Amino acid sequence: MPVFSLDPAQKHWCEELRSLAADRLRPLAEKGEPGRINRPLVAALGELGLLDRMLSAGALDLCLLRESLAHGCTEAETALALQGLGSYPLVQAGTDGQRARWLPEVAAGRAVAAFALSEPDAGSDAAALALTAVPGGGGPGTDGPGWLLTGEKRWISNAPEADFYTVFARTTPGAGARGVTAFLVPADRPGLTGTPIEMLSPHPIGALAFDSVPVTAADVLGEVDRGFRVAMNTLNLFRPSVGAFAVGMAGAALGATLAHTAGRTAFGGPLKDLQSVAHQVAEMATRTEAARLLVYAAAEAYDLGEPDVPRRSAMAKLFATETAQYVVDAAVQLHGARALQRGHLLEHLYREVRAPRIYEGATEVQRTIIAKELYG
């Protein structure tokens, strides 16, 4: 299947998702409390089978899912994506017992997952993680000796309200990326506490404090000291889909702009008849389509197991998120003051579009990855 042409079944599915997001999920999102997990919305994603589909989706399906939901309801898209980000390490590296315990709950929307990688001094430089896992452990909620986690995670989406966390901790000091282990840590584990951080975000983001939190071999995801690979495999899958989220927002902004400039009269005619406006809209559409194709190409490369996935994923995330920022900003400019009124679609998108240029590797980090891959 060429990446530049979706087949009829895929197009129909995307149209259904857009309608579902606008008609079924948007009303639930509007009832949510900013900065809190919208559990009715997560449950609806489970009831509709979207979380189950997300857990088993290839990269292209994941991108189509995220783009389509973002077009109609960014909150629903984000709730689904965070479930995927937090649970994909479990999908790729979990034991049969870990999967049996948590994945059905995630798929049903009953358990909320979180991906706990970033720290106060280790955001984009994930190999600099300082959360320590020292030998020891046992105690309540664990089975046998293992490690004690001590330190802090910060900027964690769904914290402190998630039901379990995929936590990346340093098991071998001084080993860089080679000394990190991934753990599945239930939220009720003794010594684990969290605090919310007020941010420009509709979903919760918080800090986690680990005060000798016990974990054992039964909590390890994958292999000891190989957790950085689990993190990077997760990000290689989700980075193109962050691009898809951005494309969905750009598409929504472009659609609103087409309707506005065709119907709004100024200087004796519709705005679309002004060459400066028409050319601006043409540029918005061209960049959005280019971003979409780059995202689809990266997703197909991932699904086919191509060797250049890190480069393609970084390119897709970089270009799509920067494009969405441009398109949404241009849409606001063409709409004028009305677009900044609280509750307007573009006011909402203007707030939502900024964060993807930072999380899961900032734009500058994506450029570093691309350059490293090119020269490597």
pTM of the model: 0.92
Return the domain boundaries, the chain: 8-108, 113-225, 229-375
Q: What is the predicted pLDDT for the residue at 128?
A: 82
Secondary structure percentages of the chain, helix, strand, coil, to 5: 60, 15, 25
**Torsion of the alpha carbons at 276, 282, 284 and 285, rounded to the nearest 10:** 160
**Torsion of the alpha carbons at 90, 92, 97 and 100, rounded to the nearest 10:** 70
**CA 209, 211, 217: angle at the middle one, nearest 5?**
105
The CATH number of the domain covering residues in 113-225: 2.40.110.10
Q: How far apart are CA 231 and CA 117, in angstroms?
A: 8
Q: What is the predicted pLDDT for the residue at 1?
A: 47
Assess contact for 28 and 36: CB atoms under 8 A: no
Q: How far apart are CA 367 and CA 315, in angstroms?
A: 8
CATH architecture classification, 229-375 = Up-down Bundle (1.20)
Q: How far apart are CA 85 and CA 118, in angstroms?
A: 13
Assess contact for 77 and 241: CB atoms under 8 A: no
Residues carrying an active site annotation: 360
Assess contact for 258 and 250: CB atoms under 8 A: no
Residue closest to 372 by CA, chosen among 317, 308, 304, 298:
308
Q: What is the pLDDT along the chain (376 residues), one digit of tens a residue?
A: 455 678 899 999 999 999 999 999 999 999 999 889 999 999 999 999 999 999 999 999 999 999 999 999 999 999 999 999 999 999 999 999 999 999 999 999 999 999 999 999 876 676 788 999 999 866 555 566 799 999 999 999 999 999 999 999 999 998 888 999 999 999 999 999 999 999 988 889 999 999 999 999 999 999 999 999 999 999 889 999 999 999 999 999 999 999 999 999 888 899 999 999 999 999 999 999 999 999 999 999 999 999 999 999 999 999 999 999 999 999 999 999 999 999 999 999 999 999 999 988 899 999 999 999 999 8
CATH architecture classification, 8-108 = Orthogonal Bundle (1.10)
Give the contacts of 111 (CB within 8 A, at least 6 positions apart). Answer: 102, 105, 163, 164
Residue closest to 332 by CA, chosen among 294, 280, 371:
280
Q: What is the predicted pLDDT for the residue at 102?
A: 98
Residue closest to 197 by CA, chosen among 157, 162, 165, 166:
157
Q: Which amino acid is at 368?
A: T
Q: How far apart are CA 129 and CA 122, in angstroms?
A: 6
Assess contact for 361 and 239: CB atoms under 8 A: yes
105 Ramachandran zone, left/alpha/beta (phi>0; psi -120 to 50): alpha
